[in-house]
Amino acid sequence: MTPDQLLADCQVPVLGICAFSGTGKTTLLKKLLPELSARGLKVAVLKHAHHNFEVDKPGKDSFELRKSGADQMLIASSNRRALMMERPVEGDPDLKELLALVDQRHLDLILVEGFKRLPLPKLELHRAELGKPLVFEDDALIQAIACDSATVLPADCALPQLDINDVDAIADYVQGFIAAWQPVANQPFGPQGSAEGRSQLSVQQGIDHILSLVKPVSETETVALTDAIDRVLAVPAISPINVPQHTNSAMDGYACAFDAAIEQYQLMGTVFAGHAYDGQLQAGQAVKIMTGAPMPVGSDTVIMREMASEQDGMVRFDDGVKLGEHVRQAGEDIAVGEQAAAVGERIKPATVGLLASLGLAQPTVYRRPKVAIFSTGDEVCSPEHDLKPNCIFDSNRYSLHGLLAKLDCDIIDLGIIEDNQAAMEQALRQAAAEADVVLTSGGVSVGDADFIKDALATTGEINFWKIAQRPGRPLAFGQIGKALFFGLPGNPVATMVSFMQFVQPTLRKLAGEANWQPTLIRAISTTALRSRVGRTEFVRGTMQLGAAGQLQVSSTGAQGSGMLSSMTQANCLIIIEEAQDHVNAGDSVWVQPFADLL
């Protein structure tokens, strides 16, 4: 396990203390902890102990109940809480699990002591008189050495050296360590940056490379509001009016200039929404007012009907009226000149409502991206015809239709192109001439007939990539003329997953959408999952709220990349990151909901 894996879920810095026994770890900590505490730092200590250690005493209730079989014993007072768990394991307990048990909410640091070979940053303690070797020479994670004056460090040792007897200096070092700490950067799609030294691109490297070649469309058009849904705004929506236009009533009730000293108010009339009270209200006067009706000049408060009693043209109010209540101020939602929606925003139902509320009936949007699609493969057969022997129905073109419709693209469907080079070249040329993006599925894996690769080589500049992901390892990407080309893998789940990860961000950027990022959330996996270190695994999952109010996710079961049923059952992808080869039930994982797209 790497430090990043171990510490990925930690919200505070963790520092290991590493020393041979007899060096005086506990003696030092007993001096260091009060010093850190005097500096206002809250420190937790996680200590390894003998397998049969006891913190409890025979005869105490908590001891007896635990010995009677309580799996967990939580004992608490107004001062202190102690949780004891019976968790026998082979070897050392899992440190990641232990760190997760520490209440990190009000903490500045966790010190870890007594665990061997910790994959985390450590302070080494050393005393020459013990005659033990220095650990840092074999352990790149040692950050500093606190030693006595008799210790001789090699001349080339670049680590900070502290005096083991100078508690102040060690506290300074720890304080600096806390200040310099940064949480482990999340890279759920694998590393960014150069792919040097890797045989396959990480998902993130693939995305970054592709996006660097995407130029957003610049052509715009003006559309009616009812056609604006899902389009991307090309001109900012600046409000020409105040919303609401007038200060108005938020309740059905009575408006007046409220004065607690006035016993009753003279009723001057009724104001309905869409109308106004002509006169000016004087002290002691009120009007009956409906929700949304403009506040009469001179009034400041609306008293709801339930708190009022009317008699003989007069109205009285119950106690408890607050001056100024139930009034919506002019422009409190949006003021004149304020930006209501920015360039690059995709217009959602609320956005279109907002534009309507401002009277912006003709928004200017970017033109839709044009996407040409076709399927390849002699075995691929249109579902509108009878299935030929040894063939499969074309499902990819239909999934792609659905995905492209969700992204509001114009689709040019070229159908199924037979397996021959001339037909392929002709289809590619036609597609690239008409579309911004050309998508094909099938024919890009190792072992596929070469004519697709030949056709691509003669029509454009295409790279055949291996992405460190499953499903969807093969991906062809490049340019044919001005169009971007994606050769998606043929397996139906791989086609969809590769679309989600690579084509979706491309089409969103192309459409003018600004700063789009996939939605990623954390959930607890209720199933154990397997992967392989060095690739990102996308497991079809279903997420739901668990009984304890925590988001949970489970695998849909068999994960064959041809099994489209796993996609229809799923509502998300569970991401097993490159660094992990497995996920235990109960572990927290990244989840990419389909809600963005599917």
- For position 442 contacting Mg ion by CB under 5 A, the verdict is yes
**Nearest to residue 474, comparing CAs of 464, 485, 486, 484?**
464
Cα gap 415→427, rounded to integer Å: 10
CB of 535 to Mg ion, least distance (A): 22
Cα gap 249→488, rounded to integer Å: 57
From the list 29-37, 133-141, 396-404, 440-448, the region that binds Mg ion by CB under 5 A is 440-448
CB of 465 to ligand AMP, least distance (A): 14
From the list 350-358, 375-383, 561-569, 584-592, the region that binds Mg ion by CB under 5 A is 375-383
For the CA atoms of 449, 455, 460, 465, the dihedral, rounded to the nearest 10 degrees, stands at 0
DSSP annotation string for 230-250: T-BBSS-EE-SS-BSSS-EES
Cα gap 485→473, rounded to integer Å: 17
- Alpha carbon distance, N-terminus to C-terminus of the chain: 35
From the list 188-196, 328-336, 371-379, 410-418, the region that binds Mg ion by CB under 5 A is 371-379
**Nearest to residue 159, comparing CAs of 122, 112, 110, 117?**
122
Q: Specify the residue, 119 or 443, whose C-beta has the smaller distance to Mg ion.
A: 443
Residue 38, classified by CB atoms within 10 Å of its CB into exposed (0-12), middle (13-18) or buried (19+), is exposed
Q: Which does 426 bind (CB under 5 to 8 A by kind): ligand AMP, Mg ion, none?
A: none
Q: Which does 170 bind (CB under 5 to 8 A by kind): Mg ion, ligand AMP, none?
A: none
From the list 76-84, 274-282, 438-446, 580-588, the region that binds Mg ion by CB under 5 A is 438-446
Helix (H) / strand (E) containing 375: strand 370-376
244 preceded by a cis bond (ω within 30 of 0): yes
CB of 464 to ligand AMP, least distance (A): 12
CB of 593 to ligand AMP, least distance (A): 25
- For position 443 contacting Mg ion by CB under 5 A, the verdict is yes
Question: Helix or strand or coil: residue 196?
Answer: coil
Q: Specify the residue, 13 or 474, whose C-beta has the smaller distance to ligand AMP.
A: 474
Cα gap 35→28, rounded to integer Å: 11
CB of 543 to ligand AMP, least distance (A): 27
**Nearest to residue 185, comparing CAs of 414, 5, 401?**
5
CB of 487 to ligand AMP, least distance (A): 9
Q: Which does 121 bind (CB under 5 to 8 A by kind): Mg ion, ligand AMP, none?
A: none
Cα gap 501→497, rounded to integer Å: 6
From the list 130-138, 172-180, 404-412, 437-445, the region that binds Mg ion by CB under 5 A is 437-445
- Looking at beta carbons, which pairs linking 149-156 to residues 24 or more positions away fall under 8 Å? 151/126, 151/127, 152/128
Q: Specify the residue, 23 or 399, whose C-beta has the smaller distance to ligand AMP.
A: 399
Greatest Cα pair distance in the chain: 102
CB of 210 to Mg ion, least distance (A): 23
From the list 139-147, 241-249, 287-295, 377-385, the region that binds Mg ion by CB under 5 A is 377-385
Q: Specify the residue, 369 or 474, whose C-beta has the smaller distance to Mg ion.
A: 474
Q: Specify the residue, 253 or 443, whose C-beta has the smaller distance to ligand AMP.
A: 443
Q: With beta carbons less than 8 A apart as the criterion, state whether 15 and 112 touch.
A: yes
CB of 570 to ligand AMP, least distance (A): 18
DSSP annotation string for 6-17: HHTT-SS-EEEE
Q: Specify the residue, 184 or 392, whose C-beta has the smaller distance to ligand AMP.
A: 392
CB of 563 to ligand AMP, least distance (A): 11
- For position 474 contacting Mg ion by CB under 5 A, the verdict is no
Cα gap 352→363, rounded to integer Å: 9
Q: Which does 505 bind (CB under 5 to 8 A by kind): ligand AMP, Mg ion, none?
A: none
Of 488-507, binders to Mg ion (CB under 5 A) are 490
Q: Specify the residue, 444 or 574, whose C-beta has the smaller distance to Mg ion.
A: 444
Q: Give the pairing type, strands 410-417 and 81-85.
A: unpaired
CB of 207 to Mg ion, least distance (A): 25
Matching residue, tokens 């000149």: 337
Q: Which residues bind ligand AMP (CB under 6 A)?
A: 375, 377, 379-380, 392, 394-397, 441-445, 448, 489-492
Matching residue, tokens 């171990």: 6
> How far, CA to CA in Å, does 576 sit from each of 189, 329, 555?
9, 50, 12
Q: Specify the residue, 443 or 460, whose C-beta has the smaller distance to Mg ion.
A: 443
Q: Which does 445 bind (CB under 5 to 8 A by kind): ligand AMP, Mg ion, none?
A: ligand AMP
- Both tokens assigned to 187: 């890279």
Q: With beta carbons less than 8 A apart as the criterion, state whether 110 and 118 touch.
A: no
- For position 206 contacting Mg ion by CB under 5 A, the verdict is no
DSSP annotation string for 388-405: PTT-EE--HHHHHHHHHH
CB of 540 to Mg ion, least distance (A): 23
Q: Specify the residue, 474 or 541, whose C-beta has the smaller distance to ligand AMP.
A: 474
Size of the site for Mg ion (CB under 5 A): 4
Supply φ then ψ for residue 144, to 5 degrees. Answer: -160, 160
Q: Which does 491 bind (CB under 5 to 8 A by kind): Mg ion, ligand AMP, none?
A: ligand AMP
- For position 377 contacting Mg ion by CB under 5 A, the verdict is yes
Q: Give the pairing type, strands 142-147 and 122-126.
A: parallel
Cα gap 109→107, rounded to integer Å: 6
Radius of gyration, alpha carbons of the chain: 34
Q: Which does 166 bind (CB under 5 to 8 A by kind): ligand AMP, Mg ion, none?
A: none
Q: Which does 341 bind (CB under 5 to 8 A by kind): Mg ion, ligand AMP, none?
A: none
From the list 119-127, 345-353, 356-364, 442-450, the region that binds Mg ion by CB under 5 A is 442-450
Q: Specify the residue, 296 or 442, whose C-beta has the smaller distance to ligand AMP.
A: 442
Q: Which does 244 bind (CB under 5 to 8 A by kind): ligand AMP, Mg ion, none?
A: none
Contact positions vs Mg ion (CB under 5 A): 377, 442-443, 490
